[in-house]
Amino acid sequence: MTNVSLATITITNLRLRTYIGFNPEETTKLQDVVINIRIQYPAEKAAATDNVESALNYKTITKEIIQHVEEGRFLLLEKLVGDVLAICTTHPWVRYASVTVDKPHALRFADSVSLTLEEYRDEQ
């Protein structure tokens, strides 16, 4: 097993609007969601060479997430989080990803409700 330096990309508080929920009001009204993402990938080559092609492009990943969330309709928070996680783990370099989506004001007396899903991959 090699000694691998993993980079952690953190996307903090990506604020989007989408249709989320199954109550009648939720299916007709856009709601805010707040997405937090952590992605880890081996970055020793990018760190050593300063070559763009050796780095994971977080801008491309974020653009795909924005499009998917804003154009989508989701009954369950689990489906939304699962879809975002799938986008984050599409690239074969990704070793680990974690996605948390907050749904602000989903419950009375609570700031938000959130759900987190994670995916781990063995060294490839």
**pLDDT confidence band for 1 (50 / 70 / 90):** very low
| Locus of tokens 């987190």 | 116
| Separation between Cα atoms, residue 102 and residue 110, nearest integer Å | 11
Tell me: pLDDT of 55 over 60. yes
Q: Comparing 26 with 69, which gets the higher pLDDT?
A: 69
Residue range 95-113, pLDDT digits in tens: 999 999 999 988 999 999 9
SS percent in the chain: helix, strand, coil, step 5: 30, 40, 35
- The fraction of the chain above a pLDDT of 70, given in percent, is 95
Give the predicted TM-score (pTM) of the model: 0.92
